[in-house]
Amino acid sequence: MIRIFITALLLVIAHGAYANNQEMRIGVLSFRPLEQTRMQWQPTADFLNNHVPGFHFSIKALYYNDLDLAANRHEFDFIVTNPEHYVSVRRDHGLSAIATLMPMVEGHPITMFGGVILTRADRSDINTLQDLRGKIIASPAEQSLGGYLMQRWTLYKQGIGIREVSRVHFTGMPHDKALLEVTSGAADAAFVRTGILESMEREGKIRPDQFKVLNRQPSGKFPQLLSTDLYPEWPFAAMPDVPDVLLKQVTLALLNIQPQDIAAQRGNYFGFSPPGNYATVEAMMQRLAVNPELAHEFSLRDVARKYVLELVGGGLLVLLILLAAAIYLARNNRRLQSSYRERERLDHQLQSANATLEEKVATRTRELQISEARFRQMFEHHASPMMLIDPLGGAVVDVNQAAAEFYGYRIAEMQAMNIAQINLQTEEDCRPQQTKGNCFFFSHQLASGEVRLVEVHSSPVEVDSRPLLFFIVHDITERRHLEEKMHDLAFYDLLTKLPNRRLLLDRLEKALLSGTRSRHHSALMFLDLDHFKVLNDLHGHDIGDQLLVEVANRILGCIREQDSAARFGGDEFVVMIEDLSENLSDAVNQADSVAEKIRCALAAPYLLKRGEEVISHHCSSSIGVTLFRDHEENLEQLLKWTDMAMYHAKDAGRNVIRFFDPVMQTAIENRAALENDLHTALEERQFELFYQIQVDRDGRAEGAEVLLRWRHPQRGLVSPAQFIPLAEDTGLIVPIGEWVLDTVCAQIAKWQGEQRNLVIAVNVSAKQFRQSNFVELVQQIIQRHQVSPALLKLELTESLVLDNIQDTIDKMKVLKAFGVSFSMDDFGTGYSSLSYLKQLPLDQIKIDQSFVRDIATDKTDLVMVKTIVDLGVNFEMDVIAEGVESEVQLGLLKQCGCSRFQGYLFSKPVPVEAFELLIKGDTVGQA
């Protein structure tokens, strides 16, 4: 931000004659009488007239719709409006926020505001947000961010749709009307902006004990009563055709408005801050379908910088989910193994039963052949259905009572029938189904029309000297259903009916063998549904199961019959596409086409039902793809590569397709090896400290900056750019930083004993500085080595300082009081503001080498350096320039007023022994 200020100052000087009193129109959204709003903002325009020469600024206050029309006609150059209106106008006209309003609230300047959900204090039936179902809500306006949208979003996150309340009554502005609706009993609860309750209480319109606030947030978070999350205040925004020169001048002027200025007093605000993050407002509006066509545009770099804690938390959450998934899969595997063992046991029992039955049939047949009388007795009274069939024509000669009851006919009726009237299969159909001996499987139709699967044991007999076929019939319909169910349990997913992991791996093995023979490529795809857990958490697992079934059907609709789709568990699906082109490039295009077809199909809306309720849901997918052909490729490695590609798709922002790249695997392996070596380096003290001298205007040594180096036994000298980010990611930067501080203080103690007082600057990482015991650690190290705290200087970056400004100031003040000095590293490249700079107990600011590098050829860099030096002088801070490499640069820096220098012109970073030789005989800094 400082760099922006400095650039703006330079541009003001260079382009002071840009225009001659050119008219600049400022449109202001009004919720009060227009003249009252104009009078409130006119002093702000006067301030700009006084501080932005060559332009005349005028104010025009308009209501919501009128301001929209005026913006469409391009009547304004700048617009001051609420966040919700700003997001809408930005979409239509490319509006950009240059500053955010900082009103005074309860004696505190704030840049955020929120919403309040309240009801009467005597309403015992309304105590939580869940109690608002079926109630009447009063709100000032449907477009009001603080009076409707924030509250609606809070209810949505609690699982309460706005349609679940009885009715929302929009009272119109001001917010007081919604509050009075609750007082009069016309509404059960009200949505208002923060500050309305306190304002009406001060005006004597209400008493504080008349109302109670629902979902009340902790008081330490915000100075007013609050029920929702906080969002940035009103933006001061510029239309896209405003020149950059003017844009930077206006921004600088707004950020320099002080609370005591007439503009701030009449405008009832504290000042302006750099523009807030309105992406949260835009995201909320999109989710609530206020502007459904808005799209999210975040860079990964912005997200990592602003939401590092959330990302770390999200990473831990993903680890927990993976752990839970592993436990679930292990339990599933145990259940499947148990089912498989049970199936084998039942199969063994069935085989034993069949063997026993065959043995009994053979024995019984022999007995029947010996005695027809005994056969007839057995035939008529046996509990199993039995028939005598003419082997030539298939006529039913006789049946027993059990057969008549089973088929639903009388005995006389069956004796007049042919077996073809019962048996639905031809002789040709029966042959493949014959088992051992004379056992056959048939589909027999009963008198009722029902078809039953039967097992027929057939043997030739002679009855009354007539050769016949003797049938013993067993109904095996239920047994066959049981066998099919056991097969499905072993090889198919019960929910989606897709093949499970076991069956797909079997097919994958066959595909690898087939590819070796045919030389055709195949593709393996891993699909993971994005944010599936959110649907489960919001609507329950029954709705989640409906989505999984629909996803399975859509996947099947996108692939051929010879391809395979499987569910591996949870929300993870696997697709195998076979018989692609022999040419790798063509095969990649074919696989990408199928994957894109699946991705688009899964991204289409889902209509899920819970009773009469229909839930509309959107769900995207992240797809990883790996091509394979040869059987030489390891099966587990293939699955691992595809899984890596899928997670690479997630890292790329989700709802995308990523192919496995061997470079990805190599990078992961190299990083893992480097991390392991980093642990070893810390244990075996492979790190070294290099010192780069810092001199005064006369070239005399005043101190040095210490720089960390890693001398690897095999890799040699490893660049800090390689291992410092890895140390940050793994947390090893904390013990490494502690070692650096301890080693530096030990060296300072040695020099102090030699009567050489050199100030040594140490860079402190953000993770190390945020440790709760950082202050105590520094004090203990200094006391242990008995060195003067004034000889230790800690260098902090702007991003570290602004990450938690109050915590930073508190720690710096304690160490400052202890005697340690502070320097802000790379000054001018970050986003700090002058207001924060005043609060920080800094001793020195360091001009970044990016300004020094082209100072001799770039006038902008020269002006920036002059401004930074003037800034340091005004704030009573020392200024040092880094990256000085030539006499020309040194001369220009001295002309700008810079008094201390560091760079290759004086010395590159060197080991401590070489550094001591460099400063030997130097009297500066000696006692």
Q: With a cut of 90, say whether residue 475 has pLDDT above it.
A: no
pLDDT at 748: 93
Residue 824's DSSP bridge partners are 796, 845
pLDDT (tens digit per residue) in 733-773: 999 999 999 999 999 999 988 878 899 999 998 888 989 99
Residue 193's DSSP bridge partners are 115
Q: Rounded to a whole number, what is the largest CA-CA distance in the chain? A: 136
Q: Which ranges constitute the DSSP H helices of 438-497?
A: 477-491
CATH architecture of 22-107+235-294: 3-Layer(aba) Sandwich (3.40)
Q: With a cut of 80, say whether residue 460 has pLDDT above it.
A: yes
* DSSP calls for 130-169: GGGTT-EEEES-TT-IIIIIHHHHHHHHTT--GGGSSEEE
* Cβ neighbours of residue 66 closer than 8 Å, sequence gap 6 or more: none
pLDDT at 61: 94
pLDDT at 632: 58
* Cβ neighbours of residue 136 closer than 8 Å, sequence gap 6 or more: 165, 166, 167, 168, 169, 186, 187, 188, 189
Cβ burial, residue 660 (10 Å; 0-12/13-18/19+): buried
**Cα→Cα distances 701→686, 759, 897, 918, Å:** 28, 10, 18, 9
Dig out the tokens for 471 from the structure: 């049938």
Question: What's the CA gap between 150 and 154, in Å, rounded?
Answer: 6
pLDDT at 633: 63
Q: What angle do CA 638, 642, 647 make, to 5 degrees?
A: 145
What's the N-to-C CA distance of the chain in angstroms?
41
Q: Which of 7-16, 105-114, 145-154, 374-383 has the lowest mean pLDDT?
A: 7-16
pLDDT at 2: 43
Given this chain, do its domains 22-107+235-294 and 112-228 carry the same CATH topology? yes
pLDDT at 570: 85
Question: What's the CA gap between 851 and 827, in Å, rounded?
Answer: 10
Question: What's the CA gap between 676 and 429, in Å, rounded?
Answer: 67
CATH of domain 678-919: 3.20.20.450
Q: Which of 3-7, 385-389, 902-906 has the lowest mean pLDDT?
A: 3-7
Three-state secondary structure readout of 356-419: HHHHHHHHHHHHHHHCHHHHHHHHHHCCCCEEEECCCCCEEEEECHHHHHHHCCCHHHHHCCEH
Q: Indicate the fold that domain 382-427+435-481 takes in CATH.
A: Beta-Lactamase (3.30.450)
Mean pLDDT computed over every residue of the chain: 85
- Rounded to 10 deg, the angle between the 83-93 and 64-72 helix axes is 20
| Residue 919: its H or E element | helix 912-919
- For domain 112-228, the CATH class is alpha beta
Q: Where are the domains of the chain?
A: 22-107+235-294, 112-228, 298-341, 382-427+435-481, 496-660, 678-919
pLDDT at 252: 93
Dig out the tokens for 716 from the structure: 């040699």
Q: With a cut of 60, say whether residue 831 has pLDDT above it.
A: no
Question: What's the CA gap between 155 and 146, in Å, rounded?
Answer: 14
Question: What's the CA gap between 453 and 444, in Å, rounded?
Answer: 6
Dig out the tokens for 347 from the structure: 């199969």
Q: With a cut of 60, say whether residue 832 has pLDDT above it.
A: no
Q: What share of the chain has pLDDT > 70, as a percent? A: 90
pLDDT at 202: 86
**Cα→Cα distances 691→420, 581, 906, 907, 915, Å:** 102, 60, 12, 9, 6
Greater confidence (801 vs 683) lies with 683
- For domain 496-660, the CATH class is alpha beta
Greater confidence (484 vs 291) lies with 484
Q: Report the pLDDT averaged over residues 804-822.
A: 90
pLDDT (tens digit per residue) in 568-594: 888 899 999 998 988 888 888 888 889
Contact 77, 252 (CB under 8 A): no
Contact 378, 368 (CB under 8 A): yes
Sign of the Cα torsion 670, 676, 680, 681 reads positive
Contact 564, 499 (CB under 8 A): yes
Name the band, by pLDDT with cuts 50, 70 and 90, for residue 787.
very high
Q: Report the pLDDT averaged over residues 117-131.
A: 92
Least Cα distance to 7 among 875, 840, 862, 834 occurs for: 862
pTM: 0.40
Name the band, by pLDDT with cuts 50, 70 and 90, for residue 205.
confident
